[in-house]
Structure 1
Amino acid sequence: MARTKEFDPDAALQSALELFWRCGYEATSMSDLVEHLGIGRASIYATFGSKHELYLKAMDRYAEMRDPLLLAELSQPGPALPAVRAVVRRFAAEAASPEGRLGCFVTNTAAELAPHDPAAARRVEISWEHVETPLHSALVRAQAQGELSEDRDPRALARMLFVLLQGLRVVGKASDDPARVRDAAEQALALLD
């Protein structure tokens, strides 16, 4: 008779995500995971695989939580530019908040693992596409609706905003000055006028 799990794998994955997000991949040991999750090392390996596999599953969970929110915000019917502005301002507000000190899990991964970890790099790129593509679509829609000048390049603007959003997360993580991210966001938004 197979033994039943004495823990909730979904809750354990969420807990692992929170630990990795707070500490990073390299600074999180298997002992840290055992203590934080409250489950044995063998159970972690049996349920999630290696520490690296658990980290990749945590990245997938983060994407499941974050990516649909952005798409929903940017694909609302009606004027598109107010939605783009709201997204940029939301990112700035989050980056300037105390919780912003964690940064973005994907951006943190891009800096820590992506340069030498192809599996993490693939997930980072997919997540970035899930930010840039809805921004581009919203800007194309804004242009078609007459909200954005015809001489503007929606793809280039989407890329600029995407890079800004990632930069806001990095600066918010490291800076004690919330005006830095707010001012940068507002200056970028002025480019949409």
Structure 2
Amino acid sequence: MAKDRIVQDPSDWINQYIKDSEEAIQKLSTDSLSVTSDDIQNALVEVLDLNSSTGLLYMELPAEKIICLLSSFDFSKYHPEFICEVTLEESIVPSDIPVLLTEQTIRAGGEIWMIHKNDADPFPSSPHAHNYPKNLVAHLGNGELYRKREILGKLKKKDLVLLRGLIKNVNLPTLEV
């Protein structure tokens, strides 16, 4: 660590990181996108190829270095633009897809699928549909259903076509089924 940044107590490391990241936020924010402290933290973890943000606290990262590391980083991926929300009267998720323990079972029929532009992760398709209550992501080209990156099943062709038909003014991936 540089002589002018000697830090002994762990809370000093944290306070210094906060101070430096706040300065970087001011420089990296634009008129069209306000960068947050979480954005800085996540971007640094990605750029420095760290396993977690904890390692940032013990690195020498003055504001100038943070700005240099992130000056060309695309922060817009952390702020996807909401495109549309589709509500279905009845579920199109196959019954053999495992239900999360956190899912409320009182919801018998309808589903809400959300589609974002510039999603941070274009997997499994760009765009794709999120069913947040069921923690599922649907590939809008072939209907495959994922939880994290594990494929759990597939929408029926008629259900995929129904879902796609309700999504307006969006370039969808090529229908593959």
The answer to whether TM tops 0.5 is: no
Relative CO higher for 1 or 2, CA cutoff 8 Å, sep ≥ 6?
1
TM-score by length of 2: 0.29
TM-score by length of 1: 0.27
* Greater fraction strand: 2
* Greater fraction helix: 1
